[in-house]
């Protein structure tokens, strides 16, 4: 009985976590927004316990800051934070790509190709930024999955969630969408050829260019 109760509560916490994370990443809860546990608990018809647990996880992911008297506040979008996130990605993702390509099979190549084509199709259809963001992560996921490094992958997933808030600042522009598609195509081709040197160079440039675009947009918004 205790086990089933624990599983049920964990399911509720996970659901609340996903909902709150999505609201933060999509901008429904902007930087500085105070998340009131009682209001969220009423809205979701749950106790405050899963809300509190979800907020602690979001704090660990860097999406909220919990203050002693003010409670949970959505972390602000800043150039310094963006640099931290994207440079952490620059350190981790090329390393993981090397591990993945060393083990990659034809099935992994097909997975990368499919992820690229899904992004291309969504872009052609003019799908919403949140859909493009999800497919962007699916592509990066496909590139790195063969590494079979779950702890490292979990860190990268957190970084992608944090980066996604910033990428929404640029993903609406046609130029950014077109460039992302071109980068993905080149990466998929390098992966298929098992050209690690080229693939790592392309991935580093892809991440660095996104970082530079985000920081420029942030500074223009703050000017």
Round the average pLDDT of the chain to a whole number and report it: 90
pLDDT-based confidence at residue 3 (cuts at 50, 70, 90): very low
Q: Which residues contact 170 (CB under 8 A, 6 or more apart)?
A: 176, 210, 213, 214, 217
Specify the pLDDT at position 178.
87
pTM of the prediction?
0.85
Same domain, 137 and 57: no
Tally of domains within the chain: 2
Same domain, 68 and 125: no
Provide the 8-state DSSP code for 193: H
Same domain, 131 and 33: no
Asked if residue 160 has pLDDT above 80, the reply is: yes
Reduced to 3 states (helix: H, G, I; strand: E, B; else coil), residue 64 is: strand
Same domain, 205 and 95: yes
CA angle 164, 207, 129 (to 5 degrees): 35
Give the DSSP per-residue string, 166-182. HHTTTTTSHHHHHHHHH
Domain extent for 124 = 79-222
Reduced to 3 states (helix: H, G, I; strand: E, B; else coil), residue 34 is: strand
pLDDT-based confidence at residue 170 (cuts at 50, 70, 90): low
The last residue of a domain, from among 74, 101, 129: 74
State phi, psi for 35 to the nearest 5 degrees.
-90, 110
Asked if residue 21 has pLDDT above 90, the reply is: yes
State the DSSP H helix or E strand holding residue 72, giving kind and residue range, or none if neither: strand 71-74
Shortest CA distance to 119 belongs to which of 71, 64, 183, 25?
183
Provide the 8-state DSSP code for 147: G
Same domain, 92 and 140: yes
Asked if residue 5 has pLDDT above 70, the reply is: no
Residues facing 73 on adjacent strands: 34, 65
The last residue of a domain, from among 32, 55, 74: 74
Same domain, 39 and 102: no
Specify the pLDDT at position 4.
43
Specify the pLDDT at position 2.
42
Same domain, 51 and 85: no
Specify the pLDDT at position 9.
56
Domain of 35: which CATH number? Answer: 1.10.10.10
Asked if residue 163 has pLDDT above 70, the reply is: yes
pLDDT-based confidence at residue 69 (cuts at 50, 70, 90): confident
Same domain, 68 and 91: no
Reduced to 3 states (helix: H, G, I; strand: E, B; else coil), residue 35 is: strand
Asked if residue 86 has pLDDT above 60, the reply is: yes
Same domain, 101 and 195: yes
State the DSSP H helix or E strand holding residue 116, giving kind and residue range, or none if neither: helix 106-125
Contact 73, 64 (CB under 8 A): yes
Domain of 178: which CATH number? Answer: 1.20.120.530
The last residue of a domain, from among 74, 91, 111: 74
């Amino acid at each position: 009985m205790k086990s089933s109760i624990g599983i049920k509560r964990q399911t509720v916490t996970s659901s609340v976590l996903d909902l709150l994370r999505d609201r933060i990443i999509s901008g429904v809860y902007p930087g500085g927004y105070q998340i009131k546990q009682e209001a969220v608990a009423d809205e979701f018809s749950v106790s405050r316990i899963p809300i509190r647990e979800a907020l602690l996880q979001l704090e660990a992911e860097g999406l909220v800051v919990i203050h002693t008297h003010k409670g949970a506040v959505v972390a602000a979008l800043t150039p310094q934070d963006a640099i931290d996130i994207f440079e952490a990605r620059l350190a981790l993702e090329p390393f993981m790509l090397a591990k993945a390509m060393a083990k990659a099979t034809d099935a992994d190549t097909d997975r990368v190709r499919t992820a690229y084509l899904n992004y291309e199709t969504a872009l052609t259809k003019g799908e919403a930024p949140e859909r493009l963001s999800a497919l962007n992560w699916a592509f990066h996921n496909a590139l790195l999955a063969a590494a079979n490094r779950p702890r490292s992958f979990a860190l990268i997933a957190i970084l992608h969630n944090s980066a996604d808030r910033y990428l929404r600042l640029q993903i609406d522009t046609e130029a950014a969408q077109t460039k992302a598609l071109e980068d993905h195509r080149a990466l998929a081709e390098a992966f298929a050829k098992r050209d690690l040197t080229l693939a790592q160079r392309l991935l580093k440039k892809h991440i660095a260019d996104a970082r530079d675009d985000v920081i420029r947009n942030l500074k223009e918004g703050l000017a």
